[in-house]
Structure 1
């Protein structure tokens, strides 16, 4: 009895501590932190830090390494980043999203029977953005040479022990891969055998990619020998990729396989440094990329939720889940209709969308007792002093909502409707996240993507092409701001986050997972801001997903992308009482052990001068701190 009493006393006294236990340990450091989707790539970041590089240098090295590992992205994809500059104490945004190539018109895709551009192959490709984005970030905010930051990736391209995840993806998709000659050459290392893709642990060699990376480094070194500046030397490498012999082979290989990208498309494209969008949530400044991403969804949702007592509702209570679900639906309805490339007309009403008064109007639409299956886009124009030119277009929408035919799961995130291993593979693939910070104060958050398996490689470059064209629409009634056109960037799901408190970095975070990214990041942030979770606990905490939105990826038919109102994906450990209450509210429940992509984040402990790294238990993601 005495032992039992002592145990009970111990349990009561230390219950808060025990509640903070996590499946992965917290990462700590006071010099630097490097976290990304692949342990080997995090090692690449640590190598750069150990050589004296800053967080931008390390992020570029991790980006190069993850691209070389293929499964979740490759070199022909897209990159976007938020960077905190400690010298100016400002957050800046890097837009290295490719554009639709020449010939990519609505008429072209409709002539081939598509309702959306295709998911895979040469016609899915925007111009590559990652090489240019990496060089741009490195030249403006890094300290090292391209040769230094590419060294780990080049070593990997010469041969590294491939992970089971990537190897198995190659094998699973081999019939499609074999339709593209250059992909077949690279990925089918045992052509004609029962297993044609590499085995887990096999030394995977990419001679063509290594040659491409060598050419870029050679251009940099040649420029330096001529007395060029560091920045000019980096631009020489950039030009060789986008205007030189690499570009020529990329275009030749793309066209041979039916692609549209031209030399002019590559030469005209450039990465953009732009001002991020931001709002303040209860004293915390929240930064996201502009409306060519879905990032403003998180800002809109926070503006709406600021009108409710979330903490008083209780973490993941039925009332909390309902309120956050409704706020997400309202924000995603606006995303689906109003977001697009801000550098092309028509121009999005982003000022109105981020207005606190508009958020109050949207918050007033939330019904406390039931899900609203009719949530649609609002009218933000009056909140920036304008008249909405698309009211008639909004009225003309009206895809029938048939509750008898709904299936929660989108094709790229099938939850428990498919075997667990298939679901997990689809949830993990397609994007990764990179978080880096150093003692000088540089902070970098990146969500690179594109060129994931099954990837179509462009000629003998070893570079997989993007699949981001599928995020355009062909019908202006869906979104007049995101209709495909040459030279235009698609509205993408890719969405890193940065949070500042008292003018200093508070948290930097990103996650993979398509349309769920800002759902997951919203709940992660609320876990910390409202429920005082540690960064590691917040990355692992159970959350929920809505599919009451138009899907950005997967399927070329309208029926593949339509919203599924009321469908909610809950964690399998959700309390029975909560499940019952949600069903009474009209929700259609689905369950999984994993309801989030892997979240990576860094928390800044200014009291102790330390960095705390969080990396969720939902994937292979992890990091290293020092």
Structure 2
């Protein structure tokens, strides 16, 4: 019986013809997938009006920001765009920066090992409005008024879903600390349940007014003879340099924040070259080291020489090999990744080289978990000397100590979710976005209706932890947010993203391998059981962010002999009924010139194709 089941594990999932819990989405003209059904509907409405994938993605982004549960307008946007005219993948860096006065000494004097999780002191400058305006102006076809129309209708009042409403109720104590947030979120002040009820019409007058001001700036510019692009940037300027900015800064400072009007005026979106590696003939693209994205690329490089398919899907050997590769990539992430626009330069050429990957693979313990996996030293490959070798030698000690039990609070920080946006059209435009920031409980900045980001918490204050990611004014924190795109034979192959903090690139790595190595279709791969390591420094949370060596999350269906073999390799096992995402993705079927969409089989993720 054991051998029969093991043989089944070695057969590609697609050949077993097992039905998925949700069907594959099919379309030949366009595909719109995101984390909220109403937001997916917003994307489909834009497509039906003749917009391209960038227009639709911007509409979905705006809608999800207006629905609060996992992000808001004051958060950050990370995007990859495939430009069919240029035949290249373009990166959008719309991450805010630490404001004036926010440095390591400021937080240390407050007794903080890291910047706080919540409140005005957790906020970097808002990035999403600028990211949306830039994507739309540079690569879209529609006006801001058209793209924001669904979001403005939502802000005027929409039936709030239970997930968001219940999040507000759970966080009402903290929300009461911030008067502008309490006014928006606690629609029944003094009642036993102060949050909205599921299905209640949730109205956001201040946010609607902010969006109307941006549209008004665009319309005024058009009346003056400005181009579509110039008019969209006029709306952007009103947010970052006009009356909206003034109120945002005032509201932040009134509640103890640091953001100034100059911080807002100085910030800008960066259009950049993404990073890539080739895995068995497939070019995989990620945003650069201001995200955790390159860790997936590093893991692919490490794993490429291994016969993963021969090991069998989720066999103990496969799980162990992928787990160790992820730990190595995480260790490098934790020490080397940071804002590439601040010196010193991160050693990314070395980290993403095949030679470095061979060194890491050769150092892998093939039989047991290695609890002491540490960052490598890629500087020699670049012909340089590591300027932080002293920190590197001591780095392991920072992670050592008695392994604390994993409680629910820790897991909440590991899995802290956002959303993802995937869009593609028949003309070849493809968009993958992982936006976030300003989630419930968010501190709203004055009468803007805009929730401030909580992304400052991803900085460190101790350079011995990561000398490239120490908080200072004007700098971007290294974030977990990580859209992905893959090209094969010079054409889009796969566009995919997921929510879930430090688990994002773990799940995306396995999703990609599920399709490429094990022949799953896009929905099977999205639903398939994954496993997670906790052997990394938490990117979000409180003061205790130390790695949990050997801890592994498995799906509850994991066979008993796999469990026994993993215990024998030194792992401490945890089990959950859901370990797969939620992942949203689009696969490009060039044989039939159609799209295959995959969307998570739990949560509120939803897609529409035509």
Q: Same fold (TM over 0.5)?
A: yes
For 2:67, which of 62, 69, 85 is the aligned residue? 69
Correspondence for 2:554: 570
Correspondence for 1:612: 596
Residues 1:479 and 2:466 aligned together: yes
* SS of residue in 2 equivalent to 1:46: helix
* SS of residue in 1 equivalent to 2:381: helix
Residues 1:624 and 2:580 aligned together: no
* SS of residue in 1 equivalent to 2:225: coil
Within-5 A mapping of 1:381-396:
381-396=379-394
Instruction: Calculate the aligned-residue CA RMSD, in Å.
Output: 1.5
Contact 2:335 2:468 in 1 (8 A): yes
With the length of structure 2 as denominator, give the TM-score of the two structures: 0.97
1:492 deviation in Å?
0.3
1:15 deviation in Å?
9.6
Contact 1:430 1:452 in 2 (8 A): no
Residue-by-residue CA offset, 1:266-317 (whole Å, 9 max, x unaligned): 0000000000000000000000000000000000000000121000000000
Residues 1:128 and 2:126 aligned together: yes
Within-5 A mapping of 1:294-333:
294-333=292-331
Counterpart Cα distance in 2 of 1:405 and 1:328: 19
Residue-by-residue CA offset, 1:178-230 (whole Å, 9 max, x unaligned): 00000000000000111000000000000000000000000000000011111
Residues 1:277 and 2:275 aligned together: yes
Counterpart Cα distance in 2 of 1:314 and 1:153: 45
Correspondence for 2:5: none
Residues 1:236 and 2:234 aligned together: yes
Correspondence for 1:596: 580
Within-5 A mapping of 1:335-346:
335-346=333-344
Within-5 A mapping of 1:364-383:
364-383=362-381
Mark the CA change 1:409 to 1:278 in structure 2 (over 3 Å): closer, same or farther.
farther
Counterpart Cα distance in 2 of 1:524 and 1:110: 40
Correspondence for 2:8: none
How many residues align structurally?
600
Mark the CA change 1:296 to 1:410 in structure 2 (over 3 Å): closer, same or farther.
farther
Residue-by-residue CA offset, 1:391-441 (whole Å, 9 max, x unaligned): 111123343666754223573525xxxxxxxx9xx94x5410000000000
For 1:504, which of 491, 496, 514 is the aligned residue? 491
Counterpart Cα distance in 2 of 1:325 and 1:410: 22
For 1:259, which of 257, 275, 284 is the aligned residue? 257
Correspondence for 2:141: 143
Counterpart Cα distance in 2 of 1:523 and 1:373: 22
Contact 1:596 1:618 in 2 (8 A): no
- 5+ residue gaps, structure 1: 1-13, 415-422
Residue-by-residue CA offset, 1:535-579 (whole Å, 9 max, x unaligned): 000000001000000000011x1xx20000000000000111000
Counterpart Cα distance in 2 of 1:301 and 1:15: 23
For 1:544, which of 504, 526, 531 is the aligned residue? 531
Residues 1:462 and 2:470 aligned together: no
Mark the CA change 1:514 to 1:219 in structure 2 (over 3 Å): closer, same or farther.
same
Correspondence for 1:290: 288
* SS of residue in 2 equivalent to 1:522: helix
Residue-by-residue CA offset, 1:9-33 (whole Å, 9 max, x unaligned): xxxxx99665331000110000000
Mark the CA change 1:211 to 1:363 in structure 2 (over 3 Å): closer, same or farther.
same
* SS of residue in 1 equivalent to 2:485: strand
Residue-by-residue CA offset, 1:101-125 (whole Å, 9 max, x unaligned): 0000111001111000000000000
For 1:494, which of 455, 478, 481 is the aligned residue? 481
Correspondence for 1:356: 354
For 1:88, which of 82, 86, 89 is the aligned residue? 86
1:597 deviation in Å?
2.8
Mark the CA change 1:390 to 1:15 in structure 2 (over 3 Å): closer, same or farther.
closer
Contact 1:159 1:203 in 2 (8 A): yes
- 5+ residue gaps, structure 2: 1-11
Counterpart Cα distance in 2 of 1:173 and 1:348: 38
Contact 2:403 2:549 in 1 (8 A): no
With the length of structure 1 as denominator, give the TM-score of the two structures: 0.94
